[in-house]
Each structure stands twice: as structure tokens, then as C-alpha cells.
Amino acid sequence: MTKAVVLGAAGGIGQPLALLLKGNPLVSDLGLFDIVNTPGVAADLSHIATPAKVEGYLPPDDGLKKALAGADIVVIPAGVPRKPGMTRDDLFKINAGIVRDLATGIATTCPKAFILVISNPVNSTVPIVAEVLKSHGVFDPKKLFGVTTLDVVRASTFVSEIHKDLSIAPAVVVPVIGGHSGITIVPLLSQSSHPLPKITAEEHAALIKRIQFGGDEVVKAKDGAGSATLSMAYAGAEFAAKILRAVNGEKGIVAPTYINLIADKAGGDVVKKEIGQELEYFSAPVELGPEGIVKIKSIGKVTEAEQELIKAALPELAVNIETGINFIKAPKL
């Protein structure tokens, strides 16, 4: 019996993500919460012939607590998306408060649940959730994840496009480390499961840039109607499925995700040494188990150019982390 909950379930990501979770046989109960439309989304999904029992809740009458009651895994895509010209950091003003309040609900209702944060800016919203959980004395770093899977999915797709063979896309694995915005996104193309064909230095640089700024491509194409939703729902469901499989006892599942490096102190220390900085949060490959992170893995052998990309990511990442922490620890009056 595994209960999954989506907070922000009526949104552009929330609805297709809820659909994909409804199709996951490892989910027995699906709780949906949003400030609008969840009864309709839940009624619609409840007609699908899969095991998960679906319930939708709105804020009145303790809807958040009811949705979260008994949750094993909570996915958070609540909040506003970007419009053209905005950075993910521009979303902080609105989304930080939304994420703080939802995290408070988790801390008081289902503190042992796995928490998967999608709401942007992920580099800061994950530290916000951690600080809220700490303030309630229930922080378990092994169970808190910033979802960076879309960067990994994009890298697989774009690398297979360079190979001129999209049929290999599902099998292409490219670790993406760092954070989830612009230059904090660091694809390790040298570790691609499918080494790149001979391309020029310009093509190589353009590929890295496309992975780092893939979100902008969608924001521009949607032209004011939001950012990636369908590809994010796919990526979020893929990451959630890995967590569900690990909870179900499957061993050896590895995924890159944005985590507090204290989740596995020894592994986290190795990563800090590899990146050359004392950072509290970083996206690295982790091994998952029934109780969350089993091991933070080394980022492995990187090229000199990739080491430079890591170096370039660190200052922005450090500021993003501090901004998130201070939002809870030292709120401005």
C-alpha cells in the first residue's frame, strides 16, 4: 500500500503527472491537492481502470491535511511558472511562500514521507522545505529531493538527436549534476552511455547550452502560456517511479537529484571534494533504497572543460541555497 500525493495537482504539470501516477501499479492511493479544480481532476482520473484510489481536496475544511494524511510520497509542482523574459529566480517571490506553507503541512501531517520538489526555483525551494522540516524537528535529508530529471531527459533526447537516431533516446543516459537553472545545470557529456559522434567544438558547446537552457526554449515557444509541463510530468513520473520501486524493495536504483549532501556524509564529502567547495546542496547521482538515499555517488571522472562548468555553476548555486535558507531562518520583516 503506497499513497502518493500531488500538491498543485490541477496545474499544467500536476494534471498529467497525476495521470501518470494513476497509471503506476505501485500506487494504491492518490491524493490530489490544489487551490482550484481538484474535485474535477480526481473524478476524471477515478474512472481509469488502475488500482489507485483517487481523492481530490481543496483548502477549505483542512483539505491539505486530508490529502497528506498517510502519504508515503509527496510530489510538489505547486506555484507559478515562468513567462518569457523571466528567470527561475523571478519566481521566488511567489513560490517560496507557497512551498513553505505546503512543507509545513507535510511536517505536521506526514513527516516521514518522501518529498519530491518540482516548484521553481528548485535550487532554493529544496532548502526552504528542509528548513521548514528542521524547524519542526522532522528533517530527514535522505527523503528530500529536488527533481532535476527533466535535465537528464533533455540530455538523453538532445544527444540522441546528435546521433540522428531518436530510437536510442530511452537508452541514452547522461548524468546531469549541479542545480536546476541555466549555468548551474552541468551535463557530463563525457560520461554519456552513448559517446558523442565526431562534432565540432561549436556544436559541442551548443549542445551543452541547449541542455542548460532547454527550459527557455519551451517558455519561448509557449509565448506567455507557461513553461514545460508535459515533459516535466513525464520526468517527474519517471523519478517518482524510481522512488516507488526503491520503496518496494528493488535494489541498485540510481538517479541524479538535487539533495542535501549530509544525506550520506561520507559520499557527500567526496562530492564536495570533487567540486572543490563546501556546498550544502548539489545534484549528484544517488542510490535509492526503501528509506531514501542509501549512497551519494562520486560524480566520477570529468574532463577539464566539465570541471570548468562545475566551477562556473558554484557561485550562483551558493547564492540560491543561501536565499532559500534565509527565507525561513532569517525572514525579512
Ligand X SMILES: O=C([O-])CC(=O)C(=O)O
Ligand Y SMILES: NC(=O)C1=CN([C@@H]2O[C@H](COP(=O)(O)OP(=O)(O)OC[C@H]3O[C@@H](n4cnc5c(N)ncnc54)[C@H](O)[C@@H]3O)[C@@H](O)[C@H]2O)C=CC1
Judged by beta carbon, residue 142 or residue 180, the one nearer ligand X is 180
Phi then psi dihedrals of residue 144, to 5 deg: -115, 125
218 contact choice in ligand X, ligand Y, none (CB below 5 to 8 Å, kind-dependent): ligand X
Instruction: Give the burial string for 55-67 (b: 16+ CB within 10 Å, else e).
Output: bbbbeeeebbeeb
- Positions in 117-176 near ligand X (CB under 6 A): 120, 150
Q: What are 114's strand-pairing partners?
A: 73
CA Rg, the chain, in Å? Answer: 19
Q: Is 219 in the site for ligand X (CB under 6 A)?
A: yes
Q: Which residues are annotated as a binding site for substrate?
A: 82, 88, 120, 154
Q: Is 11 in the site for ligand Y (CB under 6 A)?
A: yes
Give me the 213-242 binding string for ligand Y, x by CB under 6 A, dash otherwise: -------------xxxx--x----------
Q: Is 210 in the site for ligand X (CB under 6 A)?
A: no
Measured CA to CA, the distance from residue 224 to residue 82 in angstroms comes to 8
- Positions in 146-165 near ligand Y (CB under 6 A): 147, 150
- Positions in 22-51 near ligand X (CB under 6 A): none
Q: Is 95 in the site for ligand Y (CB under 6 A)?
A: yes
- DSSP letter assigned to residue 122: H
Residue 232 CB, nearest distance to ligand X (Å)?
6
Per-residue CA distances from 270 to 97, 267, 278, 312, 318 (Å)? 33, 5, 11, 19, 18
Catalytic center residues: 180
Measured CA to CA, the distance from residue 153 to residue 171 in angstroms comes to 10
Measured CA to CA, the distance from residue 146 to residue 263 in angstroms comes to 13
Q: Which residues are annotated as a binding site for NAD(+)?
A: 8-14, 34, 95, 118-120, 232
Measured CA to CA, the distance from residue 174 to residue 172 in angstroms comes to 7
Residue 88 CB, nearest distance to ligand X (Å)?
5
Q: Is 34 in the site for ligand Y (CB under 6 A)?
A: yes
Measured CA to CA, the distance from residue 229 to residue 87 in angstroms comes to 17
Position among 14, 127, 187, 215 found at the interface with ligand X (CB under 6 A): 215
Cα-Cα end-to-end distance for the chain = 44
Measured CA to CA, the distance from residue 138 to residue 168 in angstroms comes to 42
- Positions in 172-201 near ligand Y (CB under 6 A): 180
Judged by beta carbon, residue 96 or residue 219, the one nearer ligand X is 219
Contact positions toward ligand X, by CB under 6 A? 81-82, 88, 120, 150, 215, 218-219, 227-228
Query: Which residues contribute to the site for ligand Y (CB under 6 A)?
Result: 7-8, 10-14, 33-36, 77-82, 91, 95, 98, 101-102, 118-120, 122, 147, 150, 180, 226-229, 232
